[in-house]
Structure 1
Amino acid sequence: MASFKRFGSGVVSALTLLAVGVQPVQAQNTGTATDKAAQKAADKAAKKAPKIKTDMPEDLLPPTARTAQSVAQPVAKPTSQPSARPTTAATGVPAPTATPSPVPVQAPTISSPVVQEVVITEPVMPWTLSDAQALLNTIGYIGKEGLIPADYQPGALKAAIAKGEGDALDSLASRVFAWLIEDLRDGRTPMPARVQWFAVDPDQDAMPTQQIMAQALSDHDVPGVVAKLAPTNPDYAALKTELNATPMANKERRALIQANMDRWRWLARDLGTVYLMTNVPEFQLRLVVKNKILRTYKTVVGKPGRTATPQLAETVSAVVFNPTWTVPQSIVKGEGLGAKVLGNPKWAANNGYKGYKNADGTITVVQQPGPNNALGLMKIDMPNPHAIYLHDTPAKSYFNSDVRAFSHGCIRTERAVELGMTMAILGAQMPSTEAAELSRAGEYKKVQMTRTFPVYLTYFTFARSIDGTLQSFGDIYGRDTPVLASFKAARQLKTTQRASDEAIIQLDNPL
């Protein structure tokens, strides 16, 4: 039977003790004075080391950790690998074979993607009168999903049904059904109104409009297929319930809920089994496993303006313990740090900086690992052209503020070492003892993930908070205005654009 040791009011099992590199305390200790001193030192280290809680699902832990945790909870059956891509089991449409996403090419400091927008051409298929009538009825109730029935031309469709089957009905019904599929699957908001939205939604690849329409007409089940296109996340369902409970007279509240329901549609329909998500205006990061929030961490996000945090959907590729920081030229040259480091080696050493002059005359400055490093003691790599990542910070006082928008775009994370250890255990199948040792070693160590996890940097101004209650959050970047305006305007035709065409600003500055 594993023994337990109390830390404060919580009970930490053998897994936690292993995670912090300390063996469970035995009932009796008859060792020498040296043994007792070593045990005392280990106990002291345990109090300082991050703690890994024991509520992680058994099937997600490495084998060495499962044995310890199984004392506290039964072994769960293994599950499949998590994926950010949606499954198509709900619609019955075969999905393309998933392939790993390539690592994005590092972008220059500022670049403007070249986007050639092409209006999407919807497929045309034969419609029976009964299927067309089912579509008309579905359109009549689509307001419950936060969409606008008038967008799908119910009057014209009713008239076409009255004229009977034929080319006119096929063309109109196919077009409005395709619009409905696009809006439920990808969101109604046009891309130009999605400010700094770079989270490419994979749903249209996994669930092509043509296949969805073909299945609906083959099964003669338009409403059934439509019902299965909405996001699977329970937070979307909570917003839907709230929308339908909000009186029509409360237009402002309904519009805000409607806009945030659409933001869920901008993401993958199924976010995966295990993922990290931060809601920027909430200043919180979640570790979610099987739709359950297992950990939450306060965050510090980008300051409004040029340093605002963009919205991304990326993948954890590695955890870096005790990272180095290559200082950007805006500080090395612009603020004179490079000259100071080279001109005052003693000051540089005391502050953890190493610098050298390149062949072209520029100066490179790298801050070495340590508690004063700008990245703190942990960094989570999630390759993207924006140079955005999650990291620790030595400036812990910022987590005490209610509004935490102080960074240059990256996400500073509370209890970051604990998060990094958890990712190493889950994503690299690393024994908890090894993860704890790496976190305390004081030396740079990059742990590559063997099992990757999605990371979503989102922007919801009305959503479920980390305690599960629906509430509004401050629109710190002013991104609600264009979304709300788009819902007041006529629906725009979809194009091939998949993300914002705004300039990519790469700051790589955690200060």
Structure 2
Amino acid sequence: MNERTSLGGLLCTAAFGWAVLGAPALAAQGAQPETQKGPVDLTAAVQPPKPAPTATTPATTPAPAPVPTATNGPATGAPAPVFQPVPPPLAHWTLADAQALLAAIRGVGKEGLSPADYEPARLAAQIAKGEGDDLDALASRLFVWLAEDMRDGRTPMPARVQWFAVDPDQDLHPNSQLLAQATETHDIPGVLASLAPTHPDYALLRDMLSKAKDPRQIAMIKANMDRWRWLGRDLGLQYLIINVPEQELRLTVNNRIIRSYRAIVGKPGKTATPQLAEQVKNVVFNPTWTVPQSIVVGEGLGARLIKNPRQAAREGYVATKAADGTITVVQQPGDTNSLGRVKLDMPNEHAIYIHDTPNRSLFALPARALSHGCIRAERATELAMTMAILGADLPPETAVQYNLSGKYTKVPMTKPWAVYITYFTVARDVTGLMRSFPDIYQRDAPVIASFTKPRELHTSQRKSNEAIIKLDNPL
């Protein structure tokens, strides 16, 4: 699309942002009749999206085991986890509540978890002995284990490769609070059910699991159900969500897809896109791009441009040399800028952001894992204008003016707007059907393998402690 000759189209597209929260017809546009090569339909029986229904290692004694904790500092050779004993929460259990917990454990298979992880036979034997300290200790421990897995996911952190999306749920709903609520209200199943993710895809996966017969399919569904638990239960009112295996970005309001955009994601290997939960802070029209030193020095660009300032200007660069000899090269705004016409700024330690590209023909490719980590979005100007309208109350005419000015313009967001970069190999596609997507980074295997092993005790670690690789070269 020639953005300079399509003002009417851009204005019409961007203007939908004013009414997006109250326009049901727009939400239906999430199911665009778009052909997507690569995905395989897992089950023809799956219906279009419907509302979600309302709703470790086994210890040998009830005594608490030491719980490992890990630091969450910069992951550049993070120290080994330090084990510290944490007193477990304890509550009094009536026989009726304990029996309700036992029923919840026996039925947890429908959530993609294994009843055996929560010692149903041992709990049943303790119930038969009656109320008392032993039942209180055992039932409290097993409830916490089950609540943790429903809230945070069962997969241990080492198996969540490049997962840096911190889940806030354990802060919002700590173990002691959940245990007290469950035993004081005598609503064990209700409290546990309240921890399930609210995103419609989780309910669809749950429905798929109830119909699946093939062991491989079952394993994939369980792994992807658990990935939803790694995120916050409630993703917020409005957010962007990128599914890396699908190579799609979606603008979402109230868990309803408003617009879908093809995306270019990181190439496999050290340039793979990490999984993040961040906030868009600024919409940048006509961004500049600071060329990384790997190109400035490694490819000799800096020395060449410093010697010939006029050539640098013709090529759209500004090169400066510091007193210590360091050369900095900044690509100026324009049609050939590597970031394209717009950028969504979401500060994070990985230097990952969403941007346009001058090479828009790449969005027609079925396989789009091509970048050095950042996300390139199809129709990025439309997306940026919509974000500026909804997140910064910018009039669409002003957004068009900023875009056409050719000048670097940063619009700070005044309303929170989350961005989730996720990794789901079974999810809804652009037609609304549940499908499988290629595991482009080979991240399914460690998750699936963890489900075949005994449950591990949860720790305080909230994200991967792998090394953080900053690759700000969008080429």
What TM-score range do you get, normalising by the shorter chain? 0.7 to 0.9
Corresponding residue of 1:483: 447
Q: Is the 8 A contact 1:55 1:294 kept in 2?
A: no
Q: Is the 8 A contact 2:18 2:390 kept in 1?
A: no
> Given the alignment of the two structures, is residue 111 of structure 1 paired with residue 72 of structure 2, yes or no?
no
TM-fit CA distance, 1:115: 6.5
Matches within 5 A, 1:328-367: 328-367=292-331
TM-fit CA distance, 1:318: 0.4
Corresponding residue of 1:122: 88
Corresponding residue of 1:223: 189
Q: Distance in 2 between matches of 1:147 and 1:498?
A: 20
Give the percent of matched residue pairs that are identical in Structure 1 and Structure 2.
Answer: 59
Corresponding residue of 2:59: none
Matches within 5 A, 1:3-402: 46=7, 49=10, 51-52=12-13, 55-56=16-17, 58=19, 111-114=76-79, 116-118=81-83, 121-247=87-213, 250-402=214-366
TM-score (norm 2): 0.86
Greater gyration radius = 1
Corresponding residue of 2:45: none
Q: Distance in 2 between matches of 1:117 and 1:507?
A: 31
SS of match in other structure, 1:52: helix
Q: Which runs of 5+ in 1 are unaligned?
A: 1-19, 21-41, 62-68, 74-89, 92-105
**CA deviation profile, 1:375-398 (whole Å, cap 9, x unmatched):** 000000011000000000011121
Q: Compare 327-336 and 345-354 and name the one that shifted more.
A: 345-354
TM-fit CA distance, 1:349: 1.3
Query: Which stretches of structure 1, 4 residues or more, deviate above 6 A after TM superposition?
Result: none
Change (3 A) 1:113 1:436: farther
Q: Distance in 1 between matches of 2:339 and 2:406?
A: 13
Q: Compare 168-177 and 193-202 and name the one that shifted more.
A: 168-177
Q: Distance in 1 between matches of 2:79 and 2:279?
A: 24
TM-fit CA distance, 1:185: 0.2
SS of match in other structure, 1:376: coil
TM-fit CA distance, 1:122: 2.8
SS of match in other structure, 1:471: strand
Q: CA RMSD in A?
A: 2.2
Letter in 2 for 1:133: Q
How many residues were matched structurally?
Answer: 427
SS of match in other structure, 1:294: strand
Query: Which structure is higher in RCO with an 8 Å CA cutoff and minimum separation 6?
Result: 2
Q: Is the 8 A contact 2:7 2:400 kept in 1?
A: no
TM-score (norm 1): 0.80
**CA deviation profile, 1:39-96 (whole Å, cap 9, x unmatched):** xxx9x553575641555463759xxxxxxx9xx99xxxxxxxxxxxxxxxx99xxxxx
SS of match in other structure, 1:434: helix
Change (3 A) 1:51 1:336: farther
Q: Distance in 2 between matches of 1:118 and 1:466?
A: 45
Q: Distance in 2 between matches of 1:464 and 1:153?
A: 34
Q: Is the 8 A contact 1:112 1:504 kept in 2?
A: no
Corresponding residue of 2:50: none
SS of match in other structure, 1:298: strand
**CA deviation profile, 1:88-123 (whole Å, cap 9, x unmatched):** xx99xxxxxxxxxxxxxx98xx83445645466531
Q: Distance in 2 between matches of 1:463 and 1:505?
A: 28
Corresponding residue of 2:394: 430
Change (3 A) 1:302 1:162: same
Q: Is the 8 A contact 1:278 1:456 kept in 2?
A: yes
Q: Which runs of 5+ in 2 are unaligned?
A: 27-53, 56-72
Corresponding residue of 1:6: none
